[in-house]
Structures are given as structure tokens and as C-alpha cells.
Amino acid sequence: MSTQSSICIKSVDEFDKYEKNTISAIKIYKNISSQEIIPLIQNLNQCSNLSQIVLSLRGNYQENYNIKLLLLSLKVKNATYLSLDMSTSNMDSNQATLLGNMIGTIGKITYLALHLGFNKISDEGAFQLGEGIGKCEILKYLVFYAFNNNISVRGAQGLSQGIRQCLQITNLNIDIENNYIQKSGADYISEIFASLKSLTHLNLNLGQNQIYGSGLQSLGLQIRNYLYLNIVEIDVRLNQNQNPNYFKKRAWKQPRLVKFRLLV
């Protein structure tokens, strides 16, 4: 048996090549089928020293029961790095709530990437995801991609409240394009920047969210007055931006800004 601390496999069957209690990091790049989920849970839960997980369940839209079983049964309490792709998997708010609950148990996590685009997550699911994220108190790097879902104002509020609890975040990537957060949701998102004092890298996509004039203005004002950013990438296309000057680089005060990209 091979004994490696970090492995990259293409199928669940490859677990048999390794001594599971020696594995600390695993990357599974092949999309896991619904039929493989139960053996996947069994194998991962035997990896007692596992701290880094990269896992794709993209496109698993037929067997929702197995997805629920994964979110209920997978033991990731010791993870410091988790990248989970569940985009295009027919995830609804019930499953998103289970995912939020699971994330809330990972007290040591510093890197979290959630790829949840093209699903059916509505406000309650987004709110619970935000609640789970908010329990990750030492999180430094967050990727939250939930474009093309059914998130509106309350969902944006929950995400904002959760992210604002993660005071050590330095790198924040949010893509909730093509939802329905409107002006009030954009106001909640803008509140993030009043709380996070360690943030240096921002990638924010709020395009196509029916955010009108004043909502984008308050967002632009909050971000441009934030003094610590090195890298800023913002996409607010397909909204009604009545005053794009709030997002123009020349109006910003960041003395450390080295990269600026705006799509408006």
C-alpha cells in the first residue's frame, strides 16, 4: 500500500491504493456520480487526518437523496481547506441548509470555496449558508459562487450577516449574478465592507439583479472608501446604474490599489 499525505484521484475506487489514515489532502477532479457518493462518504470518513478536500459533485441532479446523505454524513470538522463544486446539481434550499450546517462545524477552516451556480437555492437556503459561513471565525479566503439561483433580499441579508462575522478574511470572491437581490440586497452586501478590516482582494459580481440607482451608489461608496484593497474586480452589468462615477477608479481613495477592473 502506498502511504502519501497528499493524493489526487479520478475515481472512488482509487482509495484502495492508499492507507487512509495517512491522507491529509485529497483532490478528486472527476465529477462524482450519484452511485459513488455512498462509498465516497465511507472512504473520506476513514481519512482521520484529512484537512484539505477538493471535491466535485457538479451535475448530480438526479439522485438528490444521495446528495443529502453526503451533506449529513461527511465528517469535515478538521478541514482547513474545502473546495466543493455542487453547481448544476438541482440543489434547493433544503440541501443548501444542510450544507450550511455542515460548514458551520468546520471551526479550523481558513479556505472555503463553494461553487453553487445554476441551482434552485432561494432565500432560506442562502440565509442558512450565510449562517454557516459566519461560524468560520478564522476564515481568510472565501469563494461564494451562486449565480443563476433564486436569491433575493433576505438571502443577501443572510450572506452579508454571515460574512461580516469572518473578520480575518483577506480574499473575498462573491458571484451572485442573475438573482433578484434588488436595491435592499445590494445595501446588505455593502455592509460587509464596514466590518472586514483585513480585506485586500475583492472580486464581486452582482450583475443582473434588478439593482437600481441608489443601491449601486451606496455599494460604490462603501467599497471606494475602503482603504485596504490591493485588487478590485467588480461587475454590476445589466442593472440600472444611474451614476457609474461611484465605481470609477479615479473617485476611489485606496492608496494600495494595484489592480482595478470594472464592468458596468
pLDDT tens track for 129-157? 999 999 999 999 999 999 999 999 999 99
Instruction: Answer whether 83's CB lies under 8 Å from 54's CB.
Output: yes
201, part of any domain: yes
Which burial class, exposed, middle or buried, applies to 262 when counting CB atoms under 10 A from its CB (0-12, 13-18, 19+)?
Answer: middle
26, part of any domain: no
pLDDT of residue 2: 47
243, part of any domain: yes
Return the number of other C-beta atoms located less than 10 Å from residue 5's C-beta: 12
Q: Which is more confidently placed, 9 or 131?
A: 131
CA 30/CA 64 separation, integer angstroms: 19
30, part of any domain: no
Domain that holds residue 231: 76-263
121, part of any domain: yes
CATH code, domain carrying 210: 3.80.10.10
82, part of any domain: yes
Best mean pLDDT range from 43-52, 160-169, 219-228, 230-239: 160-169
25, part of any domain: no
Return the number of other C-beta atoms located less than 10 Å from residue 51's C-beta: 18
39, part of any domain: no
Q: What is the mean pLDDT of residues 48-53?
A: 92
Q: How many domains, the chain?
A: 1
Q: What is the mean pLDDT of residues 51-57?
A: 91
pLDDT of residue 245: 66
CA 39/CA 218 separation, integer angstroms: 49
**198, 197, 186, 126: which is closest to 162 by C-alpha?**
126
* Predicted structure pTM score: 0.93
Map grid coordinates 478538521 to a residue: 78
Model pLDDT for residues 242-259, shown as the tens digit of each residue:
566 666 655 566 677 888
Model pLDDT for residues 76-126, shown as the tens digit of each residue:
888 999 999 999 988 999 999 999 999 999 999 999 999 999 999 999 999
The torsion region of residue 90 among left (phi > 0), alpha (psi -120 to 50) and beta comes to left
